[in-house]
Amino acid sequence: MSEAVADTVRDKVMAILAEQAVVAPGDIRMEATLGDLGIDSLGLVEAIFALEEAFDIEVPFNANDPGDSEFDISTVGAMVRAVESLIAAAK
């Protein structure tokens, strides 16, 4: 993945999470957890759907226990990497 594409992925993921957290994208730190951002389980489900739609990917997640999914949601950075690898796998 080129650097420019990686930047776009990161920016889009941050924009989607910012929308769910109702904060400015600039206020999202890569090491922040969803808890830090005040995104609860239903907010996470919405964020995952937004990621699926934005990147045309299918996120393997267990909506009833998101922590138990293959998709790493531990931090914003982890989610960016997880989305990158899903995009790479889809190609």
Partner 1 sequence: MITIAELAEALGAEMSGDGALEVSGAAEPAAAAADEIALAMQPAFAADLAKGRAQAAILWPGADWRALGLRAAIVAPRARYLLAGVTRVFERAPEIAPGIHPSALVDPSAEIGAGAAIGPYVVIGARVRIGPGARIFSHVSIAEDAAIGRDALLLQGVRIGARVRIGDRFIAQPGAVIGADGFSFVTPTPGHVEEARASGVTAGVITAEEQDAYVRINSLGAVAIGDDVEVGANSCIDRGTVADTTIGDGTKIDNQVQIGHNVKVGRTCLICGQTGVAGSTVIGDRVVLGGRAAIADHLRIGSNVVITGNTGVSSHVPDNRIMAGYPAVRLDQHVEMYKALRRLPRLLARLEEAAAAGQKAVSNPPASD
Residues making contact with partner 1 (CB under 8 A): 45, 49, 52-53, 56, 58, 63-64
Which is nearer to partner 1, 6 or 52 (by Cβ)? 52
Length of the chain: 91
Going from the C-alpha of 28 to that of each of 5, 20, 32, 51, 75, the distances in angstroms are 19, 11, 7, 16, 11
* Contacts of 65 by beta carbon, 8 Å cutoff, 6+ apart: none
Q: How far is the CB of 42 from partner 1 (least distance, A)?
A: 9
Closest separation in Å from C-beta 89 to partner 1: 17
Decide whether 6 or 43 has the Cβ nearer to partner 1.
Answer: 43
